[in-house]
Structures are given as structure tokens and as C-alpha cells.
Amino acid sequence: MRILVTGGAGYIGSHLVDHLLGQGYEVVVLDNLSTGKIANIAPHLENPRFRFVNDTVLNEALVEELTRSSTLVYHLAAAVGVRHIVADPLNAVLTNVRGTELILHSAYKYWRKVVLASTSEIYGKAQKVPFEETDDRVLGATEIHRWSYSTAKAVDEHLAFAYADKGLPVAIVRYFNSYGERLDPRGYGSVIATFIRQALAGEPITVHGDGQQTRCFTYISDTIQGTVLAGESRAGEGQVFNIGSPVEIAIGELARLVKRLTGSASPIVTISYEAVYGPGFEDTRRRLPSIGRAQRVLGYSPKVSLEDGLKRTIAWWQEHSRP
Ligand code: UDP
């Protein structure tokens, strides 16, 4: 069985590739290394069951060929990270909508199952928590670039459901703040990466706003568990699943936890959203998944506590990201 992983050189994609190769599958990665890194897949480059294609999901003929020659597609290639989106909104919308359209179009043509990676950003600034897959989405104005990511991924989900209506086996996973080994060492685009980098460098740990905003951080092995279950489960086809930890933490508290676990002397400082993202930025105040559906249908069960996951991530960081 040959599996195509788009975005397979990225942070989540490369962990998925490790898992699939470990299970004995053949794996093809399509990644243009925009945010993915060759280092993430370097250990597999000589593996005869592995092939890396350095190209974009916007290459229609290539997407068609790779989809045709695979039995299952995990579509993770996307422009991701709020900061990237805000910095290059046009690329984000085009990649995230057009790329998924091409993948689903090919998958339908050759009748291949697709697992679509989506995001908790889908829920926007909805205030009812925990977020259920069936909940309303609450977004800000289109003038605020942040919401383009949520909107593009929602279009992707609509496309997936539209193909599912035509009988195509598709499952959608909405990731909630995944973290772990291989988070970008520049600390770009994820609060855990940023805090660990700052703490280890002895720089101030920068909490945005009042630090009371919350997230549910999900260790990478639990993210992969949910993704693979969605790929394997027949019952999950035609459905969307929250994949995340149900344990909520405020960002201010996360800063203190990272400081303690790294033994850092860094001060914890607060900084306004405006200073970081420019005027008009809107944050999500609380983000908490309901994982009942994933538990019930997929048998999903996140296992790794935030403290254990952070310890592993910090250890990896200390080993890999010295300048
Ligand atoms: N954040 C922060 N300091 C940082 C980076 C992020 O306080 O240096 C906050 C950010 O404003 C948000 C939360 O941490 O409230 C999570 O941010 P991230 O970009 O990791 O993911 P999001 O959940 O917003 O997509």
C-alpha cells in the first residue's frame, strides 16, 4: 500500500511519515519546503519505501499522477501559522483552497480516500466551549487577514463534504494546537516554540495581551494518533473530527510552566497584540475541543500530559536547535 502525504516534510507531516514507514507502508511525500524542512525527512531519504517530491500541491499534473499511484492521501500541505497567514494572506488563501481542490479532484477521479487536515481556527472566536464539530463558526471581518485561514480551511471542508456526498471516502481532522519535536526552532508561528526558544536563550518570555486566553495543547503523538485513526476508520468517512487534548491552559500559565521546566531565568513580560500583529488583530479567547465524536467513532484517546510533552519537546530542542 502506497500512501501520499502532502506537506510530509512539515512538522506534523513528517511525524506522520515516521509512523507510516514504521508500519511498513510505502510513502510518497509532496512538499515544496515552504515551511517544511528536508531535515525533518532526512532519515528516510535512503529508504527504498520512501520517495520525496519537492514540488507544490498547485502542480496539477503532478498531483494527479501522485494521487493515481497511491491508495490513500493525507493532505497536510497548507500555508499554516497565524503569523505566516498575516504576513502573506494571498498565498495562504490560494494554497489552502486551490491545493485542496486539486487533491480532491484527483482523488475523485481515481477513487482514493483522502484525510484532510483542518484546524481549530475553523471555530474562530466562538465563545461556547467546548467546541463541537457541529457548532456554529464565529469569525471577524474579512478585512482582518487572520480569518482568511479559517475561511480557506472551511472552504476545504465544504469541498470535502461535497465530494463525500458523491461517495468519495473522505475524513477531516481539525487539529488543536499541536506541539512537539520539530516545531520550528526559530519559534515562528507557535507559542510553545516561541516560549521554549526565549526561555532557553534567556530572553524575555512574551505573553500577548493579558495572558488569560487559553488553548489546549496537543502532543504530536496524539495528533498523529487521531490522523491515522481517521485514515483507517471506515466509520469515520464523511465526517469531521476534533483532534486535540481536552486539557485547557491559559497562556500566562504556560509561560510559567515553560520557565520552570527549562530552569530559565527569563522574565515573563506582557506585550500588546497590536505590537505583534499590527492593528485590528483579534485573538481567540478560549479554545477547547469536545473530543466525544473522535472518541466514539475513531476510538481516539489522547495520552500525553502537557508537562510530559513539554519535557520531551524541550529535550529535543536542547539537542537540535543550537545556533
Ligand atoms: N502567544 C503569546 N506569545 C507569543 C506567541 C503567541 O502569548 O510569543 C499567544 C497568542 O497570542 C495566542 C496563543 O499564544 O493567544 C497561541 O498562539 P499560537 O500562534 O501558538 O496559535 P493560535 O492558537 O493562536 O493559532
Give the pTM: 0.96
State residue 185's pLDDT score: 67
> What residue type is assigned to position 257 of the chain?
L
What's the gap in Å between 130 CA and the centre of ligand 1?
19
Whole-number Å distance between alpha carbons of 185 and 194: 8
Q: Please choose from 191, 203, 266 the residue to mutate so as to test ligand 1's pocket, defined by most ligand atoms within 8 A of CB.
A: 191
Is residue 56 over pLDDT 50? yes
Q: Please choose from 208, 270, 281, 286 the residue to mutate so as to test ligand 1's pocket, defined by most ligand atoms within 8 A of CB.
A: 208
Residue in 300, 2, 26, 7 with CA at minimum distance from that of residue 173: 300
% of the chain with per-residue pLDDT over 70? 98
**Active-site residue identified among 149, 163, 219, 277:** 149
Q: Round the average pLDDT of the chain to a whole number and report it.
A: 94
Question: If pLDDT is split at 50, 70 and 90, which confidence band does 323 have?
Answer: very low
Tell me the pLDDT tens digit for each residue of 5-25: 999 999 999 999 999 999 999
Tell me the pLDDT tens digit for each residue of 64-113: 999 999 999 999 999 887 777 888 889 889 999 999 999 999 999 999 99
State residue 146's pLDDT score: 83
Residue in 178, 176, 187, 192 with CA at minimum distance from that of residue 121: 176
State residue 281's pLDDT score: 77
What's the gap in Å between 46 CA and the centre of ligand 1?
37
Residue in 143, 150, 142, 145 with CA at minimum distance from that of residue 124: 150
Residue in the block written with cell 469569525: 139
Mean pLDDT of 43-61: 98
Residue in the block written with cell 487559553: 214
Is residue 37 over pLDDT 60? yes
Mean pLDDT of 247-264: 98
Strands 170-175 and 239-243 turn out to be parallel
The reply to whether 149 belongs to the active site is: yes
Residue in the block written with cell 483542518: 118
What's the gap in Å between 71 CA and the centre of ligand 1?
37
Tell me the pLDDT tens digit for each residue of 182-224: 988 675 668 999 999 999 999 999 999 999 999 999 999 999 9
Tell me the pLDDT tens digit for each residue of 158-186: 999 999 999 999 999 999 999 999 988 67
Whole-number Å distance between alpha carbons of 211 and 234: 41
Whole-number Å distance between alpha carbons of 1 and 215: 37
Q: Supply the angle between the helices 89-110 and 146-165 in degrees, to the nearest 10.
A: 10
- SS3 letters for 196-256? HHHHHHCCCEEEECCCCCEECCEEHHHHHHHHHHHHHCCCCCCEEEEECCCCCEEHHHHHH
Mean pLDDT of 34-50: 96
List, chain by chain if needed, residues with CB within 6 Å of any ligand 1 atom. Answer: 82, 177, 190-191, 194, 206-208, 213, 215, 251, 283
State residue 65's pLDDT score: 98
> What residue type is assigned to position 81 of the chain?
G
Q: Residue 122 to residues 86, 147, 191, 226: CA-CA distances in angstroms?
A: 16, 9, 19, 18
Can you list the domains of the chain with their CATH numbers?
Answer: 2-178+219-245+288-302 (3.40.50.720)
For the CA of 192, the closest atom of ligand 1 is: 20
> What residue type is assigned to position 37 of the chain?
K
What's the gap in Å between 191 CA and the centre of ligand 1?
5
State residue 66's pLDDT score: 98
> Hey, whose CA ends up nearest to atom 6 of ligand 1?
191
Whole-number Å distance between alpha carbons of 57 and 136: 30
What's the gap in Å between 117 CA and the centre of ligand 1?
20
Tell me the pLDDT tens digit for each residue of 105-138: 999 999 999 999 999 999 999 999 999 999 999 9
> Hey, whose CA ends up nearest to atom 3 of ligand 1?
207
